[in-house]
Amino acid sequence: MPQLSFILVEGALIFAPHPSDPTHQRTFDAGYIFINGGYMEVGTEANPYTSKITITMHGDVTTPAIPVYGNKNIAVRKGELHLVGKERKVTWTLLDKTAEVGATTITL
């Protein structure tokens, strides 16, 4: 898939999951996604996104910033952004021991 520089969403940008393959993987690469009065959807509460999608924002310290919003972003101005995947049973855990600075392993 190509790396897109600037995506301006004034209508709708909808990523639908694969209809039958939950292991399907999709990538989307951009410098900026600007939702200006529009709608971007990667799943909804009623229809969660069931495939895998990786949205990668590209840029570095020299990338121009959009005033107020910065760079390498998904910016929303008077619009809607929905990112809803399948429900996860465990969303957090506790450390069993303190994670020391420089440690290469932790105990959960």
Q: Given this model, what pLDDT does residue 108 score?
A: 87
The domain in which residue 48 lies consists of 3-83
In the predicted structure, residue 18 carries a pLDDT above the cut 80: yes
Please enumerate in sequence order all residues whose Cβ is within 8 A of that of 42, keeping only pairs 6 or more positions apart, or say none.
15, 49, 53, 55, 82, 83, 84, 85
> Residue 78: inside a domain, yes or no?
yes
- At 54-106, the pLDDT tens digits run 999 999 889 998 899 888 999 999 999 999 998 888 878 888 889 889 989 98
In a domain, 32, yes or no: yes
Residue 45 lies in a domain: yes
Asked, for residue 10, whether it belongs to a domain, the answer is: yes
Q: Do the domain assignments include residue 106?
A: no
97 domain residue, yes or no: no
How many domains are there within the chain? 1
Residue 39 has pLDDT above 90, yes or no: yes
Query: How far apart, in whole angstroms, are the C-alpha atoms of residue 55 and residue 59?
Result: 13
